[in-house]
Amino acid sequence: MRTRPPTNDVVLPSTFNSFPIFFSEEELSWFEGSDLVRQIEERKANIAADYHAVCRCCPDFAERHTLEDFLWCRTAVGSRNFGITINGVKRTTMVPFADMLNHYRPRETSWTFDDSQQSFTMTSLSSIATGQQVMDSYGKKCNSKFLLHYGFAIETNREEDGRCQNEIFIEFKMPDKETDPHHNHRLQLAGPTLSIRCMMTFDEKRTQEAFSYCRLAVANQEELADIQRTHRSAYSLTNNPIHPISARNEIAALLLMAQTCRQQLTRYPTTYQADLSLLKDPDVLPFSNRRHAAIIMSSEKEILEWFVNLSAECTPVLSLPIEDAVAVVNDKYTNTKEDTSRYLRSTVYGLRNRSRW
């Protein structure tokens, strides 16, 4: 078994320095304040655990292959394998040349294993001009996952419908027991904290769970009784989200989300605007580790800033009489590809239809 390609006949990269598990301490410092630091260490630890497990089973493995070799091999396979079905059996395979295609959304090609030809096939989904680069989709993923598993990040990580695929790990908390007369009631429906990955796409399942948690955290006695009738446990929040209850409750929930995100922004040594400026710096080269790190950090802060701004922008609208709020939404929030417009239209129309303003 050879873990590294021969220097005179390179088939796979000899190094994967664009992958965070191989970053230097200085490069890792660029992610200060981000949960990605924990994810990187966790991935390295998991691969190391696998290596030591193999060594225990095959004592001579360690004599022939170092942990560094194993990290290289796992990265090569993990970033380049294809999941296919051959004659009805699911398999994972390496496909030379096909694994060299760059990522692009929306996807321009599809791939499969053709049983009739007994070969891996890739099919174009649209016309590709002569000399045009053939691209493959690596899927709908957050930038942190692209970097962790594929060694790159993209500056505009949005689908055709405008939905951003980036996520950030946020921890929300219930009000303190000492100041909240309904603390025990809330804990019947959810835990004292919720740690979850959120997106700017407000109707995504995990983001809906975060909204549900915040709506519960700020609910008054009447609203809690209403929630109790349809939600019996935290499991219900995950699979049956709490929809907007009232304008009052929604304003308070947005404020809680904004306060949480504002506090999380203080963990970063640089601001969102500083990261954007760094991305415009001509000395920060395209596809460099420094640029990818700046993309990751700006992507996270963009989400936090969005929640902060969402509260500030939507509170005045939700404070209006219902028909006035509908009129504002119909006049100013018509772009259904824009994050705030989608949230506000859904919330205002939903509250009006349920007569809960």
pLDDT band for 3, please (50, 70, 90 cuts): very low
Classify residue 184 as exposed, middle or buried by CB count within 10 Å of its CB (0-12, 13-18, 19+): exposed
Mean pLDDT calculated for residue range 239-249? 92
Domain that holds residue 144: 20-150
CATH of the domain at 141: 3.90.1410.10
Residues 146 and 172 in one domain: no
Count the residues in the chain: 357
Strands 89-94 and 81-86: antiparallel
Q: What pLDDT is recorded for position 74?
A: 95
pLDDT confidence of residue 314: 98
Are both 138 and 105 inside the same structural domain? yes
Give the position of tokens 């609910």: 219
Expressed in angstroms, the distance from the first to the final Cα of the chain is 68
Q: Tell me: do 284 and 176 sit in the same domain.
A: yes
Summarised one tens digit per residue, pLDDT across range 347-356 is: 999 999 987 6
pLDDT attached to residue 88: 93
The position carrying tokens 């989200």 is 241
Domain match, 292 and 176 both: yes
Residues 349, 204 within the same domain: yes
pLDDT, one tens digit per residue, over 83-116 is 999 999 999 999 999 999 999 999 999 999 999 9
pLDDT confidence of residue 234:
58
> What is the rounded average pLDDT for all residues in the chain?
93
DSSP 3-state assignment of 89? strand
Percent of the residues in the chain that have a pLDDT greater than 70, as a whole number: 96
Average pLDDT over residues 45-61: 95
> What is the SS3 assignment for 87?
coil
Say yes or no: 177 and 137 in one domain: no
What is the predicted pLDDT for the residue at 126? 87
pLDDT band per the 50, 70, 90 thresholds, residue 10: low
* Pair 222, 248 in one domain: yes
Candidates 295, 248, 249, 257; CA nearest to 276 is 295
CB atoms near residue 347 (< 10 Å): 22
Name the pLDDT band for 239 (thresholds 50, 70, 90).
confident
The CATH number assigned to the domain holding 185 equals 3.90.1420.10
Residue 312 to residue 319: CA distance in whole angstroms: 12
352: Cβ–Cβ under 8 A, 6 or more apart, which residues?
Answer: 322, 325, 326
Tell me the C-alpha distance between 26 and 34, whole Å: 15
Cis peptide before 321, with omega less than 30 degrees from 0? no
Over residues 286-305, mean pLDDT: 98
* pLDDT at res. 2: 39
Per-residue confidence band for 4, with pLDDT thresholds at 50, 70 and 90: low
Number of domains in the chain: 2
Round to whole Å and give the CA distance between 291 and 154: 10
